Amino acid sequence: MLANILPISALLFGSALLMFAGGVNGLILPVRGAIEHFSAFSLGLLGTGWAIGYVAGCLRVPRLVSRVGHIRTFTALAALAAISILLSLLLMTPYAWIPLRALSGFCFAGAAMIVESWLNERTEASARGRVFGLYTMINLGASTLGQLSLTMGSASADTFFVVGAIIYSFALVPLAISASAGPKPLVAVRLDVRALWRNSPVAVFAVLMVGISNGAFGTLSAVYAAKVGLLLASVALFVSVPILAGAASQIPVGILSDRLDRRLVLAALGMLAMAADLLFIFLMPGDRTLNLALVALFGVPVFAMYPVIVAHANDHAARGAFIQTSGGLLVVYGVGSIIGPLVAGWAMSVVGARGLFMTSLSAHVLLVLFTLWRIRMRAPVPEDQKGAFQVSAPGRTITPETAALAEPQDA
């Protein structure tokens, strides 16, 4: 294993820096925005802007790389991401932050795709699964550390904006000084909703609902935590704990979905998510311990749904269509991530903090109802025809190149 890791250690280090900076940037904006008395609706628009930029990056950066190359593109994207954080510090208004957040999403998606493309090129097929698992763990750990780093200072200060910009800039160093030749062109995704729908209506509808729920939570969870009275250290934990819980749940959920109809597993996860939503809505706890316990319960299902959906879609897809199917679902997920923060921000402006979980409850109810209806309409995939379940990093860090790196060898 060590022989497989050493040649790509610089790439993994660069990816870790990228994720750390993304974690800092993603949390400091809603926290500082709340301090500056930005409305919940405008803070929700930050998430919508990020998702628009992220989807655009996944779709457009492959063309940019084909024109100017991997290293030049990565350098430009990392520099622009650093500039976007610093401009957010200089222009303390949502009218500037929303387009800057979109720029940040575009840069982050493109930079992540380039790192993953390089990893895919330099990883032997026999070691791909282990390298992908290590890559996922490193990214999850780095992103979580970036979020938790906010506990080391005051969100009212300028420190974390500067730190995020520095780390983004530092992330370009490992790739910029790389002596290896650039990898093959990036994966280009063409969204064919009709083909995806014919393949698996459940996957398309469910991934849209999960995008709405997870996009809303990823953007506004820190705002919710601050509104119910949690201090900054607890706010950082409130954002990080569900992601860790979701990551830990993926292996047992994957084993279960390999043995049962994946749609039943998805419906069960949706019901568990609904229970967590309802507890938040009716209890509205201000206690730190209870909030963290409930948000861990929330994270277990919501961040385990996406890989179940992808696995189910690929069970129905043509042989060798893993990347196309996964990439298409990613774009649909991105559309949901555009809608979710917008709706949740409006709901929080109207009904208060519980509007966040009212939004996710609506998405989860629709997901469960549609999935149960489709179970009645279509027979399950025979167990011997199922593909391999692939663990994926929860949250908004997956790209079409992630699907290429995670592609099963027999796909």
**Which of 108, 136, 153, 160 has its CA nearest to residue 334?**
108
pTM of the model: 0.89
R_g of the chain computed on alpha carbons = 20
In this structure, of 84-88, 261-265, 288-292, the range with the lowest mean pLDDT score is 261-265
Give me the pLDDT at residue 383, please.
Answer: 65
Q: pLDDT class for 138, splitting at 50, 70, 90?
A: confident
Give me the pLDDT at residue 411, please.
Answer: 43
Amino acid (one-letter) located at 98: I
Q: Mean per-residue pLDDT for 218-229?
A: 92
- Whether 320 shows a pLDDT value over 80: the answer reads no
In this structure, of 68-72, 91-95, 392-396, the range with the lowest mean pLDDT score is 392-396
Q: pLDDT class for 98, splitting at 50, 70, 90?
A: very high
Contact 237, 291 (CB under 8 A): no
Give me the pLDDT at residue 182, please.
Answer: 62
Give me the pLDDT at residue 11, please.
Answer: 77
Q: Mean per-residue pLDDT for 253-263?
A: 85
Give me the pLDDT at residue 97, please.
Answer: 94
Q: Which domains does the chain have, with CATH numbers?
A: 2-176 (1.20.1250.20), 193-406 (1.20.1250.20)
CA dist., res. 214 & res. 136, Å (int):
18
Give me the pLDDT at residue 52, please.
Answer: 94
Give me the pLDDT at residue 330, please.
Answer: 84
CA distances from 73 to 9, 63, 186, 250, 347 (A): 21, 10, 12, 33, 39
Tens digit of pLDDT for each residue in 321-354? Answer: 566 777 788 888 989 999 999 999 999 999 999 9
CA distances from 16 to 117, 145, 174, 202 (A): 15, 10, 11, 34
Q: Mean per-residue pLDDT for 148-172?
A: 89
User: Counting Cβ atoms within 10 Å, is residue 410 exposed (0-12), middle (13-18) or buried (19+)?
Assistant: exposed
- Whether 106 shows a pLDDT value over 80: the answer reads yes
Contact 209, 329 (CB under 8 A): no
Tens digit of pLDDT for each residue in 357-394? Answer: 999 999 999 999 999 998 888 877 766 666 666 666 65
Q: pLDDT class for 405, splitting at 50, 70, 90?
A: low
- Residue 360 Cα to chain centre, angstroms: 16
- Whether 68 shows a pLDDT value over 90: the answer reads no
269 or 311: which carries more pLDDT confidence?
Answer: 269
Q: pLDDT class for 63, splitting at 50, 70, 90?
A: confident
Q: Mean per-residue pLDDT for 109-117?
A: 83
Contacts of 136 (CB under 8 A, 6+ apart): 391, 392, 393
Contact 58, 109 (CB under 8 A): yes
Give me the pLDDT at residue 183, please.
Answer: 66
CA dist., res. 250 & res. 281, Å (int):
26
CA dist., res. 268 & res. 33, Å (int):
36
- Whether 134 shows a pLDDT value over 70: the answer reads yes
Report the percentage of the chain scoring pLDDT > 90: 43
Contact 208, 338 (CB under 8 A): no
Give me the pLDDT at residue 214, please.
Answer: 93
Residue owning tokens 């957040």: 101
CA dist., res. 100 & res. 84, Å (int):
5
